[in-house]
Amino acid sequence: MVGFYTYFTAITRLNTAFATKILAELLQNPGPQHFEAIYRCHDYLEATKYYALELGTLYIEHFVFVVASDAAYADDLMTRRSIKGSIF
């Protein structure tokens, strides 16, 4: 079930990223309280399946915050490091 939530977090439901991260960390030794947390996450996803995250507004004059970003994964041939950049 945690893999199911990881998929939804990565593809469509970014607002569940923290809960999914915590659930994935607890996979080593799950207990009853962890299964209860998984079911609560499922109930949240079921209750909010028609909700959407909205970024921005309909009116151009209300734009306050603009962000652009780019990433290059392991492009540095010497160190194989990833590079990212953001402009705010």
Distance, in Å, from the CA atom of 75 to the CA atom of 81, rounded to the nearest integer, reads: 7
Does the pLDDT value for residue 21 go beyond 80? yes
User: Among 4-18, 35-49, 71-85, which range has the highest average pLDDT?
Assistant: 35-49
In this prediction, residue 54 carries a pLDDT of 67
Distance, in Å, from the CA atom of 43 to the CA atom of 28, rounded to the nearest integer, reads: 23
- What mean pLDDT is reported for the chain? 78
In this prediction, residue 4 carries a pLDDT of 81
Q: Which residues contact 29 (CB under 8 A, 6 or more apart)?
A: none
Quote the pTM value.
0.54
